[in-house]
Amino acid sequence: MTTITINEVGLRDGLQSLQRSMPTADKLRWIDAAYAAGIRHMEVASFVPARLLPQMADADAVVAHALTYPGLQVSVLAPNLRGAENALASGAHRIIAPISVSAAHSQANVRRSPQQMVEEFARMCDLRNSAGRPEVIMVAGMSTAFGCTRQGEVPLSDLCDLTRLVLEAGCDQVSLGDTTGYATPGQVAETVDAVRLIAGDTLHAAHFHDTRGLALVNSLVAVQHGIRELDASLAGLGGCPFAPGASGNTVTEDLVFMLHGSGFATGIDLPALIASRTVLETGLPGETLYGYIARAGLPTHAPLA
């Protein structure tokens, strides 16, 4: 049975989109509950100035707590060299750089053109190497890979060209991001296949938003075309603050249910994962939580792991 890695991104991508901050103690309880449910990959923080994202002001403490768990791969986002310095100092295992294919989104998100961001990413990779930390995985998170609310269509050729550049810059993994929820199943198949010809097994992951209700089917198509890691957020928290209308990450619980029912393994205890939503109810009272499985319940015959 093929195993699909689920990377829980709610602690970073989910929380950064909210207008309030989750208390640090509740973030730590979220990590505890996710680990207990079998999640072994988490993106837990973003190393950006607290004045820009106060939700991430406790990044060091959150990473430190996550690192206490054996076998847990801890990922963080770093948008620039300074962020990468802090990420390396934190001890995180994987650093994700947001590299927008859309020029308009790139300017709004990191105030650089896509080409300038690739140059910054190359400096981040060099920093990792010069620090003697070859075990740290550098990920090119290809944002707006399927379209952009600011720019509109994002040509596949632009994505392919930028993929070649990030590979030359030294990236270890490529992740395709449907930042605005524009992707359709046919587009996912075409895009994954095209980027695979360039990146090979370096094309590792995909990140979908459920803005138009297609996150689950897009995820299934992605794994059918060789993607082996999917980002998702507990209760569907999340959305890029620099991509208007980009609401809702893939719901982790629904994704796990679909994958188990489709013959894939995740290593996740689904009832325990659903139960972990109580951490959000406590830490983010009144926040809208999404998810079909949590609302409808598991079928009596459903595979649980």
Annotated catalytic sites, by residue? 240
**For residues 187, 189, 195 and 200, what is the CA-based torsion angle, rounded to 10 degrees?**
170
Ordered alpha helix ranges (H), 200-266? 215-224, 252-261
Cβ neighbours of residue 42 closer than 8 Å, sequence gap 6 or more = 7, 8, 9, 11, 31, 34, 66, 72, 73, 74, 75
How far is it, in rounded angstroms, from Cα 210 to Cα 13?
Answer: 14
Distances (CA, A) of 232 to 81, 99, 142, 207: 26, 19, 16, 7
Q: Would you give the DSSP letter of residue 234?
A: G
DSSP 201: G
